[in-house]
Structure 1
Amino acid sequence: MDRDRRTASGRDRRDGSDRRDRSRRTAVKARLGLAAMIAFAPPVLAGAAPGDALRDPVRSYRASHELAILSSLSQLLAIPNVASDRENIRLNADAIVAEFARRRIPAKLLESPDAPPAVFAEMRGPATARRTVVFYAHYDGQPVDPSRWTGKPWEPVVRDGLLERGGKDVSWAALKPPVDPRFLVYARSASDDKAAIVGLLSAVDALQAAGVPPSVHVKFFFEGEEEAGSPHLARILRDNAALLASDLWLFCDGPVHQSGRKLVFFGTRGVTDVELTAYGALRRLHSGHYGNWSPNPAVEIARLIASMRDDEGNIRIAGFSDDVRPPTDAERRAVAAAPDVDEPLRRELGLSRTEGAPERIESRILQPALNVRGLAAGDVGTRATNSIPTEASASIDFRLVPDQTPERVREKVEEHLRRQGYFLVQSVPDEATRLAHPRLLRVAWGAGYPSSRTSMELPASRAVVKILSDATGSPVVRLPTLGGSGPNSLFTEILKAPVIGVAIANHDNNQHAANENLRIGNLWDGIEMYAALMARLDF
């Protein structure tokens, strides 16, 4: 889930030759036919099955089709999916439409100018169905730096454990059912968010094989630019508001709780991002001849960041949190009831301390955050020279909570920058501008959206929690918000429907980073969870 405004598509498209890319796409198209290993029966309108009467046939179906399900996942993961790579992103969409077609479920692409298409499909419930529920996922992924991966981002690899724990490759050909649920699939979007798409499709297969119809009218909406900030999503929703009308959206994205227990979340943080660039001399200067005389932009960026955020992660920008809505009593109780994972999580991550201690992580994500996601200034290591860099940049993302908006955050941040003595520009300054202002800062904002939060007390909220607790055999963790961001606010504002999140990915999945992975057992659990929601949800 989440997003990255940077347009790194050029780097991704340059990974390998154009001829290899064309060959790979041809091979992918050919392999899509392998998904026919899964038998698709037409829906049978029978009574919905409760409890183990539903879980057992779904689990049995999955157990007898494990290799086919993993093959389907592998084929989808093999298609590059950075949103700005328009040729490959459309190939992803077409492949998903084809998967629905094999299941005899009507599907189509929702087009918008200059945007990746969204995939829409609909599966009608029986005449007794009273509600319509939309399952949301996204098929695009974060940009990649292939040099940081062990293997290639779009060549899925199975490993018998986490790489950082010494996990070894397992040949796809060597996989035999039952596949060890501890094995992991490594590829871009393995967990964020193609696993959800394959899990939903497999849940449909399992229900059809068992002759169990959905208890609600089911719609599917798979976005193609969530990781790019969803810049065209609002237009797609407005243009298709009647088609997308529903009583509830289920946001199928994100990791389970760090305790390993399944998670239902009722909101996501909002997000906006900014690139800040400070300037020094027009050319690099000898640090001995000019040090302590010519301003060093790397030092200026470091000082600027320190003025915005303290050592405990608290934002120091005046008025930044003025608009923050405090959590409700119900939300505070839910946070307090969640398993305390701070100590084991700290050890797992090799951290000697955490910011904001003794506050727990679940409480910290109820607050806004400033994250420095990257710094650039001069060179380090063997490339370092004794010189003063000409410019320095910081890439920052802000995570927002109710009732903050990207527009208000930008105002507060720019006010703060000006109070630090900077003259702000939006483009690379010319020489006259550089000479006129002693402190100069280029500010480039990315796209963004506000946070969203659904009441945990709604009938739909209670129904989702009960169904998933029954389906998994233990109480799920309920949290007011996921730490990450998503475009949930657009669904609530434009379509006037509540949004509830259902997470299936493992928490240690390297989401948004190199060597992203999915633990196979999490996919198996996700299939059962999605099937239970489709077959038993009513409110």
Structure 2
Amino acid sequence: MKLRSPLLLVTATCLTIQIQAQQTIGQVRNYRQANEQKIMAEYLEFLAIPNVTSDTVNIRRNIDFIKGMMESRGIEVKLLGGRTPGVNKAVMGKVTVPGATQTIGFYAHYDGQPVNPKQWAPGLEPFKPVFLTAAIENGGKIISDYRPGQPIQPNWRLSGRGSADDKAGVMTILNAYEALVKNKTKLKHNLIFLFEGEEEEGSTHLDEIFEEHTQELKADCWIISDGPRHVSGKKSVVFGVRGDVNVSLTVYGPKRPLHSGNYGNWAPNPARMLVELLAGMKDASGRVLINGFYDDVIPLTVLEKEALANIPDIEQTLKKELGIVEPEGGGLPFLELLNQPTLNINGIASANVGAMASNIIPAKAEAVLDLRLVLGNDAERQVKKLTDHIRSKGYHILDHEPTDAERATYPKLIRVSDGTGYNAQRTPMNLPIARQVVKAVQSTTTDKVVLLPSAGGSLPLYMFETILGAKVVTVPVVNYDNNQHAENENVQISFLWEGIETMAALMLM
């Protein structure tokens, strides 16, 4: 009897597994196509619930809605909180599979950034989701004659706060699971679903939740569904995120606003002082001038640098779309800059402008800085570098409103307040579990999956490693031009549908 080559047997086995995976994804797609109206109706209802993190009444409505979504899919649900009372609960679901040896966790957040409805385009409201023919910035129009039951075009956009960031993660994960169950697909792994309600405020109590519920949240790998796919539109797997910490600055001038004619050239102007201070933190190319700002960065590995080199170049596309002639960075590539720490001015304010402007010397000037951290940076250490720099410019730093005695003693007063911050995280790309994730995502697309060592955005993923002891990989599902955190937030429908397939493949990896 002629024996078959072991290599041929392995090849045949791999081919069989690949065919089975493609068949399963086909079944998920068929289920979604047959149930698009039901899926979208539920999502529209979900998006209509305001989800600003600090709005505790509506956050509770979101929790109840997600709980209902999970229970209707047969998922065992538990609300998780930490030691601090009154915080937004995380919604956890668990699916136990007999004989499973691995547990895969899926994370998304349901809370959203604050909104200013006046900044949204005419006809759009943050919590009244509507379909658009395209992005508003590209001439998209509201599809006002849409009625439930009519076909939903995959190139349409759905507007609304949270439509992309990050209720899309909740929606795609839970509908992926439902599609597998309805198709009677045999699951291989135990599954954990975790939906957080404080991510947009820095996941202030996530460490408490993890510490209180460590055993319940034990998993071999956590899949994070947040952020956008690559600018090229190709599916992505991201192995890390930057850390983040915000710092508020207030420079003080006279105790009350003064007439600029009567006091100009004599009374110190805090707006000018703050602008001068901020301008001295960066050079003309955008490189941070604060001493030691880049010193503790852990460089990318050879494998990570190779991954960057293989990513499609999208800089020209972005420059044209955003109207940028010369980016910051001194000519360094876009992706290389995303793997460096940053100092960004989120906002600056002092007195009034426009129709409300008046000829005054303001009493104070304020700014909020956003420090993005990469692997090797520590949030507290990075903030200290900033405060040391401020002191070097002659400022006396306060943590309170200045007293009369302090005003009489120090010529330059500044209040510095830093918010909750967290460090960066990066998972090695060559780990077996990381390769499993890439293989699963690749099974859902004919395009080459884009592999990113780190995203430019931030999530508290270091907590998954340091507290839960788990590996973390991010698999984003939404379009890059979604206006997350800004007015006119939207998601392209086709990305939601493809996201359901991606999440289903990951549950079966």
Structure 2 CA distance, aligned partners of 1:350 and 1:528? 34
Q: Which residue of 2 aligns with 1:68?
A: 38
Counterpart in 1 of 2:331?
358
1:491-515 deviations in Å (ceiling 9; x for gaps): 1000111100000111000011111
Q: Structure 1 stretch 325-334 or stretch 357-366: which is displaced more?
A: 357-366
Amino acid at match of 2:417: A
1:141 corresponds, among 112, 129, 144, to 112
Helix, strand or coil: the match of 1:276? strand
Counterpart of 2:185 in structure 1 is 212
Q: Offset at 1:69?
A: 1.2
Which residue is 1:117 aligned to? Answer: 89
* Deviation beyond 6 Å, 4+ runs, structure 1: none
1:233 aligns with 2:206: yes
Task: Give, in whole Å, the separation in 1 of the partners of 2:433 and 2:400.
Answer: 48
Q: Residues 263, 172 of structure 1: CA spacing in aligned structure 2 closer, same or farther, 3 A cutoff?
A: farther
Instruction: Tell me how far apart the structure 1 counterparts of residues 226 and 69 of structure 2 sit (CA, whole Å).
Output: 20
Partner of 1:299: 272
Equivalent residue number for residue 157 of structure 1: 130
What does 1:332-351 correspond to in 2, within 5 Å? 332-351=305-324
1:317 aligns with 2:290: yes
Q: Could you tell me which residue of structure 2 aligns to residue 458 of structure 1?
A: 431
Q: Which letter does structure 2 place at the counterpart of 1:83?
A: T
Report matched runs for 1:361-372 at 5 Å.
361-372=334-345
Cα shift at 1:436? 1.2
TM-score w.r.t. length of structure 2: 0.94
Runs of 5+ consecutive residues of structure 1 not aligned to the other structure: 1-46
Match of 2:65 among 74, 83, 95: 95
Work out whether residues 125 and 213 of structure 1, in 8 Å CA contact, stay in contact via their aligned partners in 2. no
Q: TM-score, normalised by structure 1?
A: 0.89
Contact 1:158 1:172 (8 Å CA) reproduced: no
- Size of the aligned set, in residue pairs, is 489
1:286 aligns to what?
259
AA of the residue aligned to 1:116: N
Q: 1:508 aligns with which of 481, 495, 507?
A: 481
**Residues 387-441 of structure 1: CA deviation (Å, up to 9, x unaligned):** 1111111111100001111110121111111000000001111222112110000
The letter of the residue matching 2:90 is: A
- Bigger Cα displacement from structure 2, 452-461 vs 207-216: 207-216
2:408 aligned residue: 435
Question: Alpha carbon RMSD of aligned pairs, Å?
Answer: 1.5
State the secondary structure of the residue aligned to 2:227: coil
1:488: which partner in 2? Answer: 461
Residues 340, 360 of structure 1: 8 Å contact kept: no
Give distance in 1, aligned partners of 2:447 and 2:492. 20
For residues 476 and 456 of structure 2, the distance between their equivalents in structure 1, rounded to whole angstroms, comes to: 12
More deviation, 397-406/290-299: 290-299
* Pair 407,333 (structure 1): closer, same or farther in 2 beyond 3 Å: same
Residue 58 (structure 1) aligned with residue 28 (structure 2): yes
Question: CA shift at 1:352, angstroms?
Answer: 1.2
Q: Could you say what secondary structure the match of 2:419 adopts?
A: strand
Distance 1:91 1:343, change over 3 A: same
- Distance of 2:282 and 2:42 partners within structure 1: 45
Q: Secondary structure at the match of 2:439?
A: helix
Residue in structure 1 matched with residue 385 of structure 2 by the alignment = 412
1:347-400 Cα deviation digits (max 9, x unpaired): 011111111153222111100011101000121112111211111111111000
* Alignment partner of 1:329 is 2:297: no
**Alpha-carbon distance in 2 for matches of 1:336, 1:358:** 16
For residues 151 and 178 of structure 2, the distance between their equivalents in structure 1, rounded to whole angstroms, comes to 19
Alignment partner, residue 16 of structure 1: none
Q: Give the Cα separation in 2 of the matches to 1:528 and 1:313.
A: 40
Larger mean Cα displacement after TM superposition, 498-507 or 166-175: 166-175
Query: AA paired with 1:408?
Result: R
Q: Distance in 2 between matches of 1:131 and 1:48?
A: 20
Displacement of 1:178 after TM fit?
A: 4.3
CA contact under 8 A between 2:18 and 2:443: conserved in structure 1?
no
User: Contact 2:81/2:208 (CA < 8 Å) preserved in 1?
Assistant: no
Q: Paired residue for 2:451?
A: 478
- The match for 2:56 is 86
Counterpart Cα distance in 1 of 2:220 and 2:461: 14
In structure 1, C-alpha distance between the alignment counterparts of 2:63 and 2:282, rounded to whole Å: 41
Residues of 2 paired with 1:426 and 1:333: CA distance? Answer: 45
Distance 1:172 1:118 in 2: 37
Label 1:146 to 1:94 Cα distance change in 2 as closer, same or farther (>3 A).
Answer: same
Residues 245-304 of structure 1, C-alpha deviations (whole Å, 9 max, x = no match): 110011110000011111110011000011101111122222222222111111111111
The DSSP-based 3-state class of the residue aligned with 2:291 is coil
Aligned amino acid, residue 86 of structure 2: D
Q: Report if the CA contact (8 A) 1:286-1:388 is conserved.
A: yes
- Show the counterpart of 1:530: 503
Question: For 2:92, what is the secondary structure of its paired residue?
Answer: strand
Q: In structure 2, what is the Cα distance between the partners aligned to 1:97 and 1:172?
A: 32
Tell whether the 8 Å contact from 1:330 to 1:456 is kept in structure 2 after alignment.
yes
Secondary structure at 1:472's aligned position in 2? coil
